[in-house]
Chains A and B, each alone.
Chain A
């Protein structure tokens, strides 16, 4: 079954702890993305990667970190420096090239208390 998976679906953490969200795809896509979805604000890009071992900051990268050691995987770490980490996080992937459609995962809802 091909697609993009995120785990876990729900995640709870205490303030001050780092937490890593998983994103895996078996679509053979070169590009992967992390978005944060908040009510009334749409999707905002956190980080993206167009190729293995390379990634760029998006619009709201502060307090987040990523790695892209494998084509299939693009984990996102929410660090304790992120001031408002409670949100819904979406991962996406796409092929390289003109007008690539982005395929989205089911999302992870992170709650930090």
Chain B
């Protein structure tokens, strides 16, 4: 069964420090990986997806099939990055449903 694991429920870093939110997955086929973010009092929204290979708000994430990971990174954290982050996986074949990780609450301290 496919599964997404985010080992850190809470992560706290200082402004300007590097940030890495961990995500590991288990899936027998070729998955699509996403990061969703929920800022305070806002809706859950897509941050980035691995197939786009893009940087959004300074965040990047590389799919590492060997380590089955999709860690989210930002070299210099900003206070506005404080939010709840969810890693999600979708099968490339089959139903268009997502499997979400448990989420990591990121707090950026001034």
Interface residues of A (CB under 8 A from B): 31, 33, 35, 40-45, 48, 50, 56, 58, 90, 92, 94, 96, 98-107
Contacts and interface: CB of A to CB of B under 8 A. Distances in A.
Contact of A104 (B45, B99, B103): B45
A40 B9 contact: yes
Interface in B86-110: 86, 90, 92, 95-103
Contacts, number: 51
Given A40-B102, A42-B102, A43-B100, A50 B95 contact: yes
B49 A90 contact: no
Contacts of B103: 40, 42
Nearest to B102: A42
Given A42-B102, A94-B96, A104 B9 contact: no
A100 B97 contact: no
B17 interface: no
B98 A45 contact: yes
Interface residues of B, number: 22
6 contacts: A35-B100, A42-B100, A50-B95, A58-B97, A92-B44, A98-B92
B46 interface: yes
A45 B97 contact: yes
Given A40-B9, A42-B103, A104 B98 contact: no
B19 to A, nearest CB: 20
Nearest to A59: B99
Contacts of B49: 99, 101
B32 interface: yes
A55 B99 CA distance: 17
Contacts of A40: 9, 102-103
Contact of A48 (B6, B44, B95): B95
Contacts of B90: 99
Given A35-B100, A105-B43, 9 more contacts: A43-B44, A43-B86, A43-B100, A44-B100, A45-B98, A50-B95, A98-B92, A100-B96, A104-B44
